[in-house]
Structure 1
Amino acid sequence: MRRLLLVPLAWMLAGCPVDFQGWGGMKQQPKALPYRENTFFADERAMRQPPAGTVPRDRRGKDRFFLTGRDTPDGGYVETIPLTLTTERVESGQRSFDIYCATCHGVLGDGVAQVARNMGLREPPSLVDLPAYPDGYYYDVMTQGYGLMPSYADKLTPEQRWAVVAYVRALQASQRARLEDVPPEARPQLEKEGTP
């Protein structure tokens, strides 16, 4: 009977903030908190620089072309998207584009957006009218940022950035398409709608 009474008592005490031997529990233990001073280290910073050459776990097994958009260490861009393009991938690129890119570059990628109109210093360019850059260039701009555009590497994974590149390519193709580029079975519908 005593053992049965000890079980609920032990269970209750396990949930209580008990100070064993003056330690103060887990909340009061010595530890380094981010962005705080730490006199243990010579530079007095709690946050440590990772050792040179450290690779984050999510990048293991992925090649440099996929992660950087460059095919040589000295600068050349990857010419094509290093992923298998599927409808789902392009649609996910559209979702990311609509969230992060369309506010400045416009829903059609043509640079027509309210944010773009309010930017007095320099309006974002039309992605449709850009010169023929390789796919790696667009990926690198999203990763590193360019001019007033910040990096989106912290918001979009490498896969998501490549999906956005695929969607930008689809936007460019759709905005530059002529009636002759449309499959013959779809042309009557477009002609009926008055598309030039």
Structure 2
Amino acid sequence: MKRRLLTVTATVTLLLSGCSVDWQGWAGMKQQSKALPYRESGFFSDDRAMRQPPPGTVPRDRRGKDRFFLLGKDGPDGGFVEGNPLTLTREVVENGAESFEVYCAVCHGVLGDGRAQVARNMGLREPPSLVDLPPHPDGYYYEVISRGYGLMAGYEEKLTPEQRWAVVAYVRALQESQRARLEDVPPEARPLLLKEGTP
């Protein structure tokens, strides 16, 4: 009986210690100082509450994925990888198209040709046409999408690595579609294209 009473007392004490009850000068967890996201914090020398991950650490969502997949670079020299690590399927390209239309088409145009209202309104420099770029490896496009380039912001925080690689696949599809000749189209699809091109 005595043991049970001690257990109940200890449990109640632990539960109350997390409440905002002022017990012996301790106001509980509700009143403790804490760092809130995007707020200042005098605890750190740069006065920022949000911290960068320690060097060499890997976020949980990136465990088990190699450098090639996460950075678009490979080898000791850190050169860009040539190919896309995703298995290219229609679904992957369509997923890339969805992300492209949300994040990229506003500036680069729906066809990737740089023709967009936002692009026309940019005073400093218009976004380039993605279909007229010099040849680059897939890893280069992945890094630009991740980290940004020039005035373009990076989308590493908005798109997962899989989504960024899917956008790369879609950009490649856009490039091929804009450079394709009628002879490159499968014979069964040519009548449809010819019909659409007729006034």
TM surpasses 0.5: yes
Query: Following the alignment from structure 2 to structure 1, what is the Cα–Cα distance between the partners of residues 195 and 101?
Result: 29
Q: Could you tell me whether the CA contact under 8 Å between 2:112 and 2:174 is conserved in 1?
A: yes
Tell me which protein shows more strand as a share of its residues.
2
Matched residue, 2:149: 146
Q: 1:64 aligns with which of 59, 62, 67?
A: 67
Matched residue, 2:29: 26
> What is the CA distance between 1:51 and its match in structure 2?
2.8
Residues 194/46 of structure 1: CA separation in 2 closer, same or farther (3 Å cut) = closer
Matched residue, 2:164: 161
Matched residue, 1:118: 121
Matched residue, 2:12: none
> What is the CA distance between 1:32 and its match in structure 2?
3.5
Specify the SS of the correspondent of 1:193: helix
Q: Could you tell me whether the CA contact under 8 Å between 1:144 and 1:153 is conserved in 2?
A: yes
AA matched with 1:152: Y
AA matched with 2:149: Y
* 1:37 equivalenced with 2:44 (yes/no): no
Matched residue, 2:10: none
Specify the SS of the correspondent of 2:68: helix
Q: 1:105 aligns with which of 105, 108, 119?
A: 108
AA matched with 1:167: Y
> What is the CA distance between 1:89 and its match in structure 2?
1.3
Moved more, 123-132 or 182-191: 182-191
Aligned-residue RMSD, C-alpha: 2.3
* 1:93 equivalenced with 2:96 (yes/no): yes
Q: 1:187 aligns with which of 185, 190, 199?
A: 190
Q: Could you tell me whether the CA contact under 8 Å between 2:20 and 2:30 is conserved in 1?
A: no
Residues 142/42 of structure 1: CA separation in 2 closer, same or farther (3 Å cut) = closer
Residues 180/148 of structure 1: CA separation in 2 closer, same or farther (3 Å cut) = same
Q: Could you tell me whether the CA contact under 8 Å between 1:37 and 1:45 is conserved in 2?
A: yes
> What is the CA distance between 1:118 and its match in structure 2?
0.2
Specify the SS of the correspondent of 2:178: helix
> What is the CA distance between 1:70 and its match in structure 2?
1.1
Matched residue, 1:80: 83
> What is the CA distance between 1:120 and its match in structure 2?
1.5
AA matched with 2:69: F
TM-score, normalised by the number of residues in structure 2: 0.81
Structure 2, unaligned stretches of length 5 or more?
1-15
> What is the CA distance between 1:49 and its match in structure 2?
4.4
Specify the SS of the correspondent of 2:93: helix
Structure 1, unaligned stretches of length 5 or more?
1-13
Residues 19/166 of structure 1: CA separation in 2 closer, same or farther (3 Å cut) = same
Identity in percent? 75
